[in-house]
Each structure stands twice: as C-alpha cells, then as structure tokens.
C-alpha cells in the first residue's frame, strides 16, 4: 500500500510539473495580447508614448524598419527613438482613421521569459485627395520579460517584395 501511495505522489508531482509550463505559456500569451494590440494601435495613431512603453530602452535593441531611410539595421534605443519620432510625427498629422493596419495570421511562441510573435499585415493609407494606398508586409517581434514587463528587444518589419 505504501508503494502505491508513493507512486501516486510521484505521478501527481510529475503531472503538476508537466502541466505548469502550459499554464505559464497561456498566462504569458494573455499578457502579450494587449501589448500586441498596443503595438498595432501605436502604428495606426502615431502614438510615440505607446511605442516608448513597448520597446526595450537599451543600446542592444535591434530593429529592421521598412522605410527607405532606415534600410540598414537600427542599433540601440537612441537610434530607434529618432526613427519612431519621424514615423509618429508623420502618422499623427494624418486625419483620424487615415492609416489602418490589419494583422493576419498572428502567431505567438513563448519560451519562458522570451516570446516571438510573427504575422503579416495589410496597411491602408488614405491620401488627402481620397486615393488609398495599400501596403503589405510582415512583422517579427522578439519580446523579453524584463522586470515583470514584456518589451520588444528585436523588431523586424518589412514590406512584401514587389514582383
């Protein structure tokens, strides 16, 4: 009888350990979803404060941004701040709703305190003349949980290649 109780305890502990990462991953995904929504909203509205909250403020931050002026890798928070300032200044001057981003096929992969999110996006910008421009791209964000908060430590945004 003792052996059965001991085996039951060991199996119970093993099951608890095996189920723990699933619960954690689900919790982490729940924490990341609003951060992803905030990223998309910051893109649409040009909210510099929201972007500032999302990115790692460290010189080890790396970013590939889809604008021609930033064709090479952006290294560090100081460089990224100036890129974000230019982008948010541009977007914030557009009429409300003139720039829209729609995410497609989002994927979240959590590995303890690091997560990778990927997806495609469709951007629509309404020009003052009433014409609209559609942009297609992809995005990979690498997040790290630092001091209890998920921040982007690497971002790769790029347009789809044109034929």
| CATH code, 147 | 3.10.450.50
For the cut 80, the answer to whether the pLDDT of residue 54 exceeds it is yes
* Entry pTM: 0.80
pLDDT score for 25: 60
Residue 17, domain extent: 2-159
Q: What is the pLDDT of residue 34?
A: 94
For the chain, what percent of residues have pLDDT higher than 70? 84
Domains of the chain: total: 1
Count Cβ neighbours within 10 Å for each residue of 34-73 and write b for 16 or more, e otherwise. ebbeebbebbbbbbbeebeebbbeeeebbbebbeeebeee
Q: In 61-148, where do the E strands start and end?
A: 62-64, 74-75, 99-111, 114-126, 132-146
Strand partners, 1: none
Q: How confident is the model at residue 9 (pLDDT cuts 50, 70, 90)?
A: very low
CB atoms within 10 A of CB 114: 14
pLDDT of 107-129, one tens digit each? 999 999 999 999 999 999 987 77
Question: 77-95 pLDDT, tens per residue?
Answer: 999 999 999 989 988 888 8
d(CA 136, CA 121): 6
Nearest-angstrom CA–CA distance, 36 and 33? 5
């Amino acid at each position: 009888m003792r052996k059965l109780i001991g085996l039951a305890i060991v199996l119970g502990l093993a099951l608890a350990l095996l189920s723990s990462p699933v619960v954690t991953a689900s919790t982490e995904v729940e924490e990341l979803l609003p951060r992803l929504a905030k990223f998309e909203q910051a893109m649409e509205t040009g909210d510099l404060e929201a972007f500032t909250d999302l990115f790692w403020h460290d010189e080890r931050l790396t970013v590939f941004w889809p604008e021609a002026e930033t064709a090479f890798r952006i290294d560090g928070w100081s460089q990224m701040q100036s890129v974000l300032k230019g982008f948010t200044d541009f977007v914030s001057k557009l009429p409300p709703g003139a720039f829209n981003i729609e995410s497609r096929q989002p994927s979240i992969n959590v590995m303890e305190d690091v997560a990778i999110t990927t997806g495609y996006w469709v951007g629509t910008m309404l020009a003052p003349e009433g014409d609209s421009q559609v942009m297609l791209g992809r995005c990979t964000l690498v997040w790290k949980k630092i001091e209890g908060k998920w921040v982007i430590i690497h971002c790769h945004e790029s347009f789809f290649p044109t034929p």
